Structure 1
Amino acid sequence: MKRHRIPRKVFDALAGGSGGAHAVGYLQVAQYSRRLLLLRGVRDAARAEEPKRARRARQAFALLAEIQELAPEAVETTIRYPTVGAWARDVLVGRGDTGGLAALAAAAAVRAGFPRPIEVPASDGVVVLPSLGRAILPDCNSAVVRPGVARVTAAHGVSVRIPTDPYRDAPGWQGLRRMEAEYHGMAIRLLLDEGDPYRMPGTEVAQTRLSPAELESWRAGMRRAWRLLVRFHWTAAEEVAAAISVVSPLVPHGKEHTSATAHHTFGGIGLSLPPDDHAFAVALAHEVQHTKLGALMDLVPLTRPDDGSRHYAPWRDDPRPINGLLHGAYAHLGVAGYWRRQRAHERGATMMRAHMEFARWRDAAALAAHTLAASGRLTDAGEIFVAEMARTLRAWRREPVPKVALDHARTAAVRHRARWHLRNGMDPAG
């Protein structure tokens, strides 16, 4: 067994808000090991099921191992797919179905061109193959995947062919569609997941697939946001390209754009379509912070167990536990960093917006960092992490901001505190 460690220089770089692709690399390696352990746990959990299901799970796990010997990249790509982590965790806490092991093995077999057929479960006439897409087989509760001929066949005989490029749609097949962008030789390649039931747990995911026009709006917005990140936010762009591989469309909250990251779906984020290029770029910079922190905390606990205490967060309407406050502070450190750099490249009203956003979120993150440091709920490593965050924010708070922008930021902060107090009946300072 290999014990994963984060070098102190990498830890400090992450705590300061960045780290780059180098730091993300440490997190990716550890997350893959975590996935392998989760799958082993699923296999072991299946032993307690009735004999037929236990045998199928055991056979699927053995098939994965056999494919891994012949085509390790096919298995690794499949296991790394974000939804696999959420499904495996659900199995281990008693909510998920071990039959998902068969779907996982089938997806790896299709990638590898491994010839052996495998029976897989279906839900409401849909067979999901993680990392590839889904076959629509009405009135079917199980099917056989035949990777050698790239077909999914239901018991009643209906068959769906998986196209040579599985990310393209075909009759009865809905592939994971691509969103790609490149600028100055730096590329990002994302998949759009609109069908996996584990694509973004705890969020309101869009239930219908994007139309061709909507898909093009997403792709065009992605290209423009990527251009912004590569031109002016090189480290953030590196991290986004390295850490994020899948986007799931979310339902917006009224007129508000929303984004999310789920702890157990490393590599995946959720977004509603951002309203402008900056909002798209900021959403990526924001969610990659959550992605990094969640993966780091799997290796290095930063907070103590929840004791029920709740705290004011300048970006939320509800009181937050320490873990949630730390996540929010770290994400808004990334948001402040985006606007800090962007204000040097804007003119007129957009420049003032950048100054205001920078002032608003640097101060908000600094307030949260102070709350965290005084909470008594951080581990020793957590205290070091928050101290590094605070050091970065102290330096940023010494940077000048035009008075008009600063006044707007402070007014927004005061109004938020007042609304929060009325809503929660608590003193934000406490």
Structure 2
Amino acid sequence: MSTAELDALAALADPPGVLPLLERARVSRNLAFLAAALRGGNDSAPRRSARAGFDLLAAVQRRAPEVVREMLRHHRFGAWVAVCAVGAGGDPVAEESLAHLTSFAAAAAVRAGLEFELELPRVGDAVVLPGLGCWTGPATAPPRVRHDGRGTPLLDGYRWTPIRRLTAALPGGGVDIEFDDLPPTPSAWPETDIPDGSSGWTPWDAAEFDEWQRVFGAAMALLAEVVPGLAGPLARGIRAVLPRASASYPFVTSTLADSFGAAAMVRPADAVRVATGLLHEFQHSKLGVLMEIEPLIAVEGPADLPSPWRREPRPASALLHGSYAHLAVARFLRLAAGRTGSTPVPDAEPVRRQTLAGCDILLGSGRLTPAGRRFVTFMRQTAATDSGGRPAARTV
């Protein structure tokens, strides 16, 4: 990535070629993780399943390589392969999780119209095809799926539930992403333990989904109107919303570094809050991959840096992530004021000043690489001049 591209990202002016670069980088990392996860090991049942899944994925690659590329950058694949790679060589959870490669391979084969026969792992009472849907049925032995290359395979005694999708019509083209309420596959997402067979999975009800569709469509339209320069990359890069229950999920919105383009959210009440959450989390997704391409933190250090938006101190990377997300949110809130009818818009100025404070703490920490210092300096200059007519704070 060039210096000019880094500067543009820090100034919230994403160049057109950056998002494809980030996506290619994430696919490369996922492939490296897959190699690490499958290397060596014993002849356990999960490894035998994984090898069968890999063989099927290779067959899909020969027929429809674009389908495999799409699966390799799927948010569930990134989360799954990270669990397997990090725990490779000794973690029993990672070892058991290897069998889920067959689910990703089967989903790719269905998309490519490829015939196959494969045993798939269960998630509680469900069998998941990531990005497509899941079967639910009696919790017995793992089902053996046969596919003739046409449509979706049918399993006797199982009910198929297709994944639903959130859509939005925008001036530059439509948005069509997964509403991923399917049972959890192995990942590091909070509160996504794999259920046992005693608990049945049910999708979110139709009324709740309709409400999600309403606020999502309104949020994307608002972003496109108010901050088109930020909405464009978001519309092209967001892949999925993972709905969460407010009673049990510890965050209003969250992102997993391994799941590029996915945002877990407790449904906000209005489009302004949905837009804010999507924008905030997509900034995290971009920065997470960017920092793998170009290191911005020289010394992560202990979690001892003061945070302008949290009570507890944070490590350098967390402070950088928060500042980058706040930078975009502050711009959106400032420009959205007075353009949302009766829907209230929070004041942008406290968010902007938190961004400035976060940048100042980072610049004074001694923990940034030269590229990181330049990146944060451009962030600070952007926040300082994004003041909507207020006197600009000093720049570094």
TM band (smaller chain): 0.7 to 0.9
Structure 1 unaligned residues grouped into runs of 5+: 1-5, 161-171, 402-430
> Residue 320 of structure 1: SS of its match in structure 2?
coil
Choose 242-251 or 197-206, whichever is displaced more: 197-206
The answer as to whether partners of 2:297 and 2:368 remain within 8 angstroms in 1 is: yes
**Residues 151-176 of structure 1: per-residue CA shift (max 9 Å, x gap):** 254xxxx344xxxxxxxxxxx11222
> Residue 186 of structure 1: SS of its match in structure 2?
coil
Moved segments of 4+, more than 4 Å? 204-208, 253-257, 346-350
Matches within 5 A, 1:286-301: 286-301=280-295
Specify the alignment match of 2:127 in structure 1.
127
Specify the alignment match of 2:103 in structure 1.
103
Q: Distance in 1 between matches of 2:239 and 2:189?
A: 19
Structure 2 unaligned residues grouped into runs of 5+: 88-92, 194-200, 392-396
What is the letter of the counterpart of residue 68 of structure 2? V
Specify the alignment match of 1:9 in structure 2.
4
Q: Distance in 2 between matches of 1:195 and 1:280?
A: 21
Larger C-alpha radius of gyration, 1 or 2? 1
1:134 Cα deviation (Å)?
1.3
Q: Distance in 2 between matches of 1:124 and 1:343?
A: 46
What is the letter of the counterpart of residue 151 of structure 1? P
**Residues 231-250 of structure 1: per-residue CA shift (max 9 Å, x gap):** 12111211111211111012
**Alignment partner for residue 214 of structure 1, among 198, 208, 214?**
208
Q: Distance in 1 between matches of 2:62 and 2:271?
A: 44
Matches within 5 A, 1:68-107: 68-94=61-87, 95-96=93-94, 97-107=97-107
Specify the alignment match of 1:151 in structure 2.
153
**Residues 244-288 of structure 1: per-residue CA shift (max 9 Å, x gap):** 111101233799981111100112111111111211111111111
Q: Distance in 2 between matches of 1:122 and 1:182?
A: 36
Choose 28-37 or 383-392, whichever is displaced more: 28-37
Residues 380 and 176 of structure 1: CA distance in aligned 2, closer, same or farther (over 3 Å)? same
**Residues 30-86 of structure 1: per-residue CA shift (max 9 Å, x gap):** 111222222222221xx3132554333223212211211111122222222101111
**Alignment partner for residue 261 of structure 1, among 246, 255, 264?**
255
Residues 256 and 107 of structure 1: CA distance in aligned 2, closer, same or farther (over 3 Å)? closer
Matches within 5 A, 1:332-371: 332-343=326-337, 345=339, 350=344, 353=345, 357-371=347-361
Q: Distance in 1 between matches of 2:83 and 2:342?
A: 50
Matches within 5 A, 1:210-249: 210-249=204-243
Specify the alignment match of 2:48 in structure 1.
55
The answer as to whether partners of 1:304 and 1:379 remain within 8 angstroms in 2 is: yes
Q: Distance in 1 between matches of 2:164 and 2:86?
A: 31
Residues 141 and 308 of structure 1: CA distance in aligned 2, closer, same or farther (over 3 Å)? farther
Residues 345 and 377 of structure 1: CA distance in aligned 2, closer, same or farther (over 3 Å)? same
Specify the alignment match of 2:33 in structure 1.
38
Q: Distance in 1 between matches of 2:47 and 2:386?
A: 57
1:23 Cα deviation (Å)?
2.1
The answer as to whether partners of 2:295 and 2:369 remain within 8 angstroms in 1 is: yes
The answer as to whether partners of 2:323 and 2:359 remain within 8 angstroms in 1 is: yes
**Alignment partner for residue 175 of structure 2, among 182, 188, 202?**
188
1:107 Cα deviation (Å)?
1.0
Q: Distance in 1 between matches of 2:9 and 2:145?
A: 43
> Residue 399 of structure 1: SS of its match in structure 2?
coil
> Residue 103 of structure 1: SS of its match in structure 2?
helix
The answer as to whether partners of 1:21 and 1:238 remain within 8 angstroms in 2 is: no
1:139 aligns with 2:133: no
Q: Distance in 1 between matches of 2:63 and 2:249?
A: 50
> Residue 194 of structure 1: SS of its match in structure 2?
coil
Q: Distance in 2 between matches of 1:193 and 1:377?
A: 37
Q: Distance in 2 between matches of 1:327 and 1:251?
A: 25
Residues 126 and 391 of structure 1: CA distance in aligned 2, closer, same or farther (over 3 Å)? same
Matches within 5 A, 1:298-317: 298-317=292-311
> Residue 190 of structure 1: SS of its match in structure 2?
strand
**Alignment partner for residue 178 of structure 1, among 161, 165, 183?**
165
Q: Distance in 1 between matches of 2:43 and 2:137?
A: 26
Specify the alignment match of 1:27 in structure 2.
22
Specify the alignment match of 2:383 in structure 1.
393
Residues 49 and 141 of structure 1: CA distance in aligned 2, closer, same or farther (over 3 Å)? farther
Q: Distance in 2 between matches of 1:237 and 1:398?
A: 20
Specify the alignment match of 2:114 in structure 1.
114
Q: Distance in 1 between matches of 2:192 and 2:45?
A: 34
Q: Distance in 2 between matches of 1:295 and 1:108?
A: 24
1:344 Cα deviation (Å)?
6.2
1:185 Cα deviation (Å)?
4.5
**Residues 105-163 of structure 1: per-residue CA shift (max 9 Å, x gap):** 1111111111121111113232111221211131224111222163254xxxx344xxx
Choose 300-309 or 257-266, whichever is displaced more: 300-309
Higher helix share: 1
1:199 Cα deviation (Å)?
8.1
1:66 aligns with 2:68: no
**Residues 373-421 of structure 1: per-residue CA shift (max 9 Å, x gap):** 11111122111111111111221248328xxxxxxxxxxxxxxxxxxxx
Q: Distance in 1 between matches of 2:157 and 2:65?
A: 28
What percentage of aligned pairs have identical amino acids? 31
Choose 288-297 or 205-214, whichever is displaced more: 205-214
Specify the alignment match of 1:404 in structure 2.
none
Residues 312 and 119 of structure 1: CA distance in aligned 2, closer, same or farther (over 3 Å)? same
1:273 aligns with 2:275: no
The answer as to whether partners of 2:272 and 2:343 remain within 8 angstroms in 1 is: no
